[in-house]
A and B are shown apart, each in its own frame.
Chain A
Amino acid sequence: MASFGNFTHAIVRGIPASLVQEALRSSLCQVDLVKAQHQLQLHIGTLKDELGLQVVELPADESLPDCVFVEDCAVVCGDTALITRPGAPSRRKETKAMKSALQELNFKIVEMKDDTATLDGGDVLFTGREFFVGLSKRTNHRGIEILAGAFKDYPVSTLPVFEGLHLKSFCSMAGPDLIAFGSSEPAQKTLKILQQTGDHHYKTLILPDDAAANCVFMNLSGKGQVLLHCTPEEYPNSAKVFERLTDHLLFPVPNSEMSKVDGGLSCCSVLISKTGS
């Protein structure tokens, strides 16, 4: 727990041109590919240059329009990496590159072989003490069960996702024992359940915009608590809330293009801690 957020590596993936037309999305927005790629580069630059993480960049695959959202392909905790079986059939092949990248990093790989199971990493909220996994359109009970089997040391609780693509479409960790949550009614409903079900009492950071509640927290040696969050341009009200956090080193990262295809900040990387074993 003390080492929660102490990441050393990040796995990211490029944006294929096919994302513009073919990536799954819940709204009909036109994505500006160049701008998207630029934003991703800013994101990666922050991880690499500002934060000193070792970034593994997987090449984009035109046949996998959603492949930039690597978070959904793997859940990494301790020495174990669970390779997921994404809920969207078109995304199942994305896990291949992720698996080999994690293998190279010497993780114990657990694969979700059961073909009734689905799980997107975007539904997995790890607090450092326990897992909360959203039962969403993309993640089912069986998938969560396999996750629980992979990470037996931790309690795994299921949470209903009333609205939105993933659990982390409206929440994420924003600090040690601090969970950022959107203020929409469905998000708050889920939060209530989380608070009841969880072992621990977490502080919450409530943000006016659900999407802004997807941020990326790290606790880096040498840097302290770091938070990548939305920019004031995209979510002025929520950005103000983040700006009030005094313990964190704040990095506003633009994400307007990815968000058009339901991608949050956390979706674009798998963060890994290789310090210990």
Chain B
Amino acid sequence: MTTEVVSEAEVKKEPEKADEQPAAPQQDAEQESEQPAAIQDGDTPRTASPQTDRKSKEARGLSRFLPPWLKRQKSQSRTEPSEDHEDKAPMEEQLEAPPPEEVSPQEAERDESHSIGSADTQPAKEEKGEEFPERIGDGKEEEDLLESKAGEKEDEPLKAEAEAEKSSLKPAKKMKTVTCQVTLLDGSLLPCEVEKRAKGIVLFVKVCEHLNLLEKDYFGLCYKDHADQKCWLDPAKEIKRQIRNCPWQFAFSVKFYPPDPSQLTEDITRYLLCLQLRQDIASGRLPCSFVTHSLLGSYTLQAEMGDHDPDACCLDYISEFQFAPSQSKEMEEKVVELYKTHRGMSPAQADAQFLENAKKLSMYGVDLHHAKDSEGVDIMLGVCANGLLIYKDRLRINRFAWPKILKISYKRSNFYIKIRPGEAEQFESSVGFKLPNHRAAKRLWKVCVEHHTFFRLVTPEQPPKARFLTLGSKFRYSGRTQAQTRQASTLIDRPAPHFERCSSKRLSRSLDGVPGLGMDDQAGATSLGRTPGEKNGRDPALELSSDSKSKLRVQGENIYVRHSNLMLEDLDKTQEDVLKHQASISELKRNFMESTPEPQPSQWDKRLTASPATSLRLRAQAAFEEEVPSSSLLSSTVACTTSVPAAEGAIAVGSPPAAAHVAETAEDKQKSDTLEQAEVEIEETVVIKEVRKAPKVEVTVPEVVVTAVTEKEPEKKPGGEAEGRGGEGVTQRGSTSSDSHSESEDEAEYHPQAPSVSVDQIKELPEEEEELEVEAQPLEAEPTAASPCPTTEEQEPALKDEAQNGHPESQSPQGSVEEDEEDEGEPKLNGDASRAETEGFPQVICCSEPPVVKTEMVTISDTFAAQKTEISTLEVPIVHTETKTITYEAAQVDGAGDSEPGMLMTAQTITSESLCTTTTTHITKMLKGGVSETRIEKRIVISGDSDIDHDQALARAIKEAKEQHPDMSVTRVVVHKETEVMEEGKD
């Protein structure tokens, strides 16, 4: 309703937009072409762009990205009073937007199409974001293109395979071919010819064919990048683009360790898994006790040697096997002793037994990554089927199950997870970790995205089309999920393939017990020698260790954020504490940013670091990335997907925590910005959190949050960036274009709950209730992302069924929803009738985004009241509420300032009330780089009946804000509007 009005106002800015278009590089229609485009975007365009007239460099950078937003913004900005425009327009080009009409219809369509999959509004945005670069070039037509693309993408997995097939069929093409060396799990080398431009899947399929492997989804190919880090080859992308200058050497390995190997269909799959585990064990990656080593070893013998032969003196050959990183005679004796008891067991049975025992090990399938926590302490992050594990030394200090994680993102070398609030917690918390470098952060992020998708989802999420944000990686797991692969496996109809179990004897004994090559030292060395890229022709083991060292070295450069247990500390916070809390967080962040932890080699290093030991070694030469992965484009809004809805949810619901969400939104937006901005914004995020809803007296509660920020900092472009981050930024800029694209890759988000966006929202709803009702408690149950989230209509019924089953552990998203619903039934009594079944249509509009995000939100309940599960869903009065949230954010010219760590000097909150408005002013002073910056955030809640002209009130509020602080600039306006939709009979 309101929205439309606003949009008109913005139209005027269109011209600007047009200007920008020329600046934008041309883009290929092809998906792949995106990559190159991205690169260009990264640097050239900026410089070249006409908008250079902006005074500061930053502005330039920003401008690059702004245009797209502009479009979106228009639609978003609808609510904004014209006055605002005036101010903002000068500041940043944000306001310039494409004709709103154009956008909105499209969006609507998209929404529909996507709603099934992700139930959130985001898809639409994603598309836009993704396409964004292209759009700039073309204008309207592009949108159509985009749509069609979108369609394609959905099929991507299939398509990819199809392509692979095709390409393999037409070797005759002129294409040049390359020979890849693939190290198999038994240590042998498989040379594979592929076209030079072939995608990863082509090679992978070839290897699987060679192995006669059907259940291939658990496996993958990895290579070592020039930093000697193990990376997974993305099947959907060209090999060459991934490995860059590195040699075409790969290792076939297990990527997803099935939690229950007995559910694998074929013995050959189990066999390969056994081989991988033997490597893991021998290398020390998978620690076990003496007894377990012995037991596993005995099954290995049984599988490979058959029944124990009393006549042969097995102690002679037994020492050629490697059962443990270091094994004693005693262990060998124990192995033989156990081996004798396995008489009669077939090799397949022995493998199965091996797996049954190995799967219980605490580090089974845990992919470890070095990181630092907020205090700069060395920790390890372990990604596994169930979630993310945090280790300090070898002790687990925290664990975040997938259902607990709302968002996974990385920015630069920082890796963040956003945690669903716990029972007693009102607020989502974010936990950040510092990775050795941004590549490591991205790698970790990817692994998380993949693991989450593989193990938790029924079907893979579609790669984000341009979403909210424009920056970041679009990466998504494109393969089959475990559920799908299991399904597919049931269709396997072939006689058990014959395969030879090669003796692992030779495998074992590499110097450090590095599993990698699966050859004995000599063999290993030889094979290595052959490889072109090898550094020193040494045993892979050695390389691995060097690997770890290098990691350690890198670690020095970074920071880190806050600690796992921290979140537990806010348990009892009242709303009033929020501010303090946030302040402390921001301080934490700041500290974290500033700190430069020193490398502390951990004992585990060797094991862990070496983690996925690949036999490959790569050249040390630092090849920089020539091409941006296709996803890297600005448009890689991937991460943002869910975030939007989440934010909406929060805001819409008007939950106190909404502030946090807002912050998130801000973050997202930031991302769309240039990096610098993005950084800045992070800080903002922290500050901004305050947005939350005031008591809803009336059903209609427009809320206006005006954040005024004066940045008095001197322009410190690169120069001022002494801090770690700043430094990075500079580097990037300075470096070649390749770097620039790396920028775009620097950050990405992923919402593990993506499929259940609505769940997120729902969950947030309860928070509001908490505010109102006090009693609502967070659910224990963690919704599982596994099932696609029900659309609004579906939710109700579906939820009910499952509600009862919803036990904390393996709850499906629906489960949680249900509970919510039920809860509603109870608590709703508070006269918060609207909650009972609120159909929210929150819209979040950000400058950076397409105008209107329509999310169908079923605001059914408070998700958190777990205990109330028993309450049946009563028929509750249904109040339809329409909620809109519109965020206007000025691009920040001196955004760099934000990114800088600052010291919080003062923070105060002032509240004043008038007839129908409540104004909360939150003032924060920070010291950043010697310059103090004052941020004022005003939250104005205007409540009243429809007879109040909210738009006018809003305009007034903004105007006042400006008048009161003439020396400050308005950087952000968030309008949250909640309107009760008249029910029949109600007026």
Q: Which residues of A contact B (CB under 8 A)?
A: 78-80, 108, 130, 133, 141, 144-145, 148-149, 151-158, 160, 189, 192-193, 196-199, 201, 277
In the complex, how many angstroms separate the beta carbon of B973 from the nearest chain A beta carbon? 37
Cβ-defined contact, B289 with A197, below 8 A: no
Residues on B with beta carbons closer than 8 Å to the beta carbon of A78: 289, 291
Closest 4 CB pairs of A and B: A155-B362, A157-B396, A201-B809, A152-B287
With beta carbons under 8 angstroms apart, the residue of B393, B397, B571, B808 that contacts A201 is: B808
Cβ-defined contact, A149 with B394, below 8 A: yes
Q: Which of B258-306 contact A (CB under 8 A)?
A: 287-292
CA distance A153 to B294 in the complex (A): 12
A199/B399 contact (C-beta < 8 A), A141-B392, A189-B571, A192-B422 known: yes
Residues on B with beta carbons closer than 8 Å to the beta carbon of A148: 393-395
Q: Which chain B residue shows the least CB distance to A276?
A: B291
CA distance A197 to B424 in the complex (A): 17
With beta carbons under 8 angstroms apart, the residue of A133, A154, A155, A193 that contacts B565 is: A193
CA distance A145 to B391 in the complex (A): 11
Cβ-defined contact, A152 with B399, below 8 A: no
Cβ-defined contact, A197 with B291, below 8 A: no
Residues on B with beta carbons closer than 8 Å to the beta carbon of A199: 362, 386, 399
Q: Which chain A residue shows the least CB distance to B572?
A: A185
Q: B184-219 CB contact bits vs A (8 Å, 1 = yes)?
A: 000000000000000000000000000000000000
Residues on A with beta carbons closer than 8 Å to the beta carbon of B722: none
> Which of A130, A141, A158 has most B Cβ within 10 Å?
A158
In the complex, how many angstroms separate the beta carbon of A139 from the nearest chain B beta carbon? 12
> Which of A133, A145, A155, A156 has most B Cβ within 10 Å?
A155
Residues on A with beta carbons closer than 8 Å to the beta carbon of B568: 189, 192-193
A155/B396 contact (C-beta < 8 A), A108-B290, A192-B568 known: yes
A198/B399 contact (C-beta < 8 A), A148-B394, A193-B565 known: yes
Cβ-defined contact, B289 with A141, below 8 A: no
With beta carbons under 8 angstroms apart, the residue of A108, A144, A189, A196 that contacts B398 is: A196
In the complex, how many angstroms separate the beta carbon of B379 from the nearest chain A beta carbon? 12
CA distance A130 to B360 in the complex (A): 10
Residues on B with beta carbons closer than 8 Å to the beta carbon of A158: 392, 395-397
CA distance A149 to B363 in the complex (A): 13
> Which of A133, A156, A189, A196 has most B Cβ within 10 Å?
A196
Residues on A with beta carbons closer than 8 Å to the beta carbon of B396: 155-158, 197
Cβ-defined contact, B397 with A197, below 8 A: yes
CA distance A199 to B392 in the complex (A): 16
Residues on B with beta carbons closer than 8 Å to the beta carbon of A156: 362, 394-396
Cβ-defined contact, B395 with A157, below 8 A: yes
CA distance A155 to B360 in the complex (A): 10
A153/B360 contact (C-beta < 8 A), A78-B291, A79-B291 known: yes
In the complex, how many angstroms separate the beta carbon of A128 from the nearest chain B beta carbon? 11
Residues on B with beta carbons closer than 8 Å to the beta carbon of A152: 287-289, 292, 362
Cβ-defined contact, A197 with B422, below 8 A: no
Residues on A with beta carbons closer than 8 Å to the beta carbon of B290: 79-80, 108
Residues on A with beta carbons closer than 8 Å to the beta carbon of B397: 157-158, 197
**Interface residues on chain B, size class:** 20 to 34
Residues on A with beta carbons closer than 8 Å to the beta carbon of B424: 192
Residues on A with beta carbons closer than 8 Å to the beta carbon of B392: 141, 158
Pairs A–B under 8 Å by Cβ, sample size 14: A141-B392, A141-B393, A144-B395, A145-B394, A145-B395, A152-B289, A152-B292, A153-B360, A153-B361, A158-B392, A192-B423, A199-B362, A199-B386, A199-B399
Cβ-defined contact, A80 with B289, below 8 A: yes
CA distance A181 to B290 in the complex (A): 33
With beta carbons under 8 angstroms apart, the residue of A108, A133, A144, A153 that contacts B362 is: A153
CA distance A162 to B477 in the complex (A): 42
> Which of B396, B397, B423, B807 has most A Cβ within 10 Å?
B396
Q: Which chain A residue shows the least CB distance to B394?
A: A148
CA distance A154 to B361 in the complex (A): 6
CA distance A80 to B362 in the complex (A): 17
Residues on B with beta carbons closer than 8 Å to the beta carbon of A145: 393-395
Q: B404 at interface (Cβ–Cβ under 8 A)? A: yes
Residues on A with beta carbons closer than 8 Å to the beta carbon of B292: 152-153
CA distance A154 to B292 in the complex (A): 11
CA distance A160 to B571 in the complex (A): 15
Residues on B with beta carbons closer than 8 Å to the beta carbon of A189: 568, 571
Residues on A with beta carbons closer than 8 Å to the beta carbon of B422: 192, 196
Q: B382-419 CB contact bits vs A (8 Å, 1 = yes)?
A: 00001000001111111110001000000000000000
Cβ-defined contact, B395 with A130, below 8 A: no
CA distance A174 to B506 in the complex (A): 48
Residues on B with beta carbons closer than 8 Å to the beta carbon of A79: 290-291
Cβ-defined contact, B395 with A151, below 8 A: no
A196/B399 contact (C-beta < 8 A), A78-B289, A108-B290, A153-B360 known: yes
Q: Which chain B residue shows the least CB distance to A1?
A: B360
Q: Which chain B residue shows the least CB distance to A198?
A: B399
Residues on A with beta carbons closer than 8 Å to the beta carbon of B291: 78-79, 153, 277
Q: Which chain B residue shows the least CB distance to A154?
A: B362
Q: Which chain B residue shows the least CB distance to A155?
A: B362
CA distance A221 to B396 in the complex (A): 33
In the complex, how many angstroms separate the beta carbon of B251 from the nearest chain A beta carbon? 26
Residues on A with beta carbons closer than 8 Å to the beta carbon of B360: 153
In the complex, how many angstroms separate the beta carbon of A193 from the nearest chain B beta carbon? 6
Residues on A with beta carbons closer than 8 Å to the beta carbon of B395: 133, 141, 144-145, 148, 156-158
In the complex, how many angstroms separate the beta carbon of B864 from the nearest chain A beta carbon? 14
CA distance A108 to B394 in the complex (A): 21
In the complex, how many angstroms separate the beta carbon of B861 from the nearest chain A beta carbon? 23
CA distance A198 to B404 in the complex (A): 13
CA distance A156 to B292 in the complex (A): 17
16 new A-B contacts, CB < 8 A, other than A108-B290, A158-B397, A199-B399, are A78-B291, A141-B393, A144-B395, A152-B288, A152-B362, A153-B289, A153-B291, A153-B292, A156-B394, A156-B396, A157-B396, A158-B395, A192-B424, A196-B399, A197-B397, A199-B362
> Which of B289, B290, B399, B568 has most A Cβ within 10 Å?
B289
Residues on A with beta carbons closer than 8 Å to the beta carbon of B809: 201
Cβ-defined contact, B565 with A160, below 8 A: yes
CA distance A141 to B602 in the complex (A): 14
Q: B741-758 CB contact bits vs A (8 Å, 1 = yes)?
A: 000000000000000000
Q: Which chain A residue shows the least CB distance to B398?
A: A197
Q: Which of B496-524 contact A (CB under 8 A)?
A: none
With beta carbons under 8 angstroms apart, the residue of A133, A153, A197 that contacts B399 is: A197
CA distance A153 to B288 in the complex (A): 5
Residues on B with beta carbons closer than 8 Å to the beta carbon of A108: 290
Q: Which chain A residue shows the least CB distance to B393?
A: A145
In the complex, how many angstroms separate the beta carbon of B425 from the nearest chain A beta carbon? 10
Cβ-defined contact, B362 with A130, below 8 A: yes
CA distance A157 to B392 in the complex (A): 10
In the complex, how many angstroms separate the beta carbon of A2 from the nearest chain B beta carbon? 12
Q: Which of B858-878 contact A (CB under 8 A)?
A: none
In the complex, how many angstroms separate the beta carbon of B762 from the nearest chain A beta carbon? 21
Q: Which of B775-806 contact A (CB under 8 A)?
A: none
Residues on A with beta carbons closer than 8 Å to the beta carbon of B807: 201
In the complex, how many angstroms separate the beta carbon of B329 from the nearest chain A beta carbon? 15
Q: Which of B903-917 contact A (CB under 8 A)?
A: none
CA distance A144 to B360 in the complex (A): 21
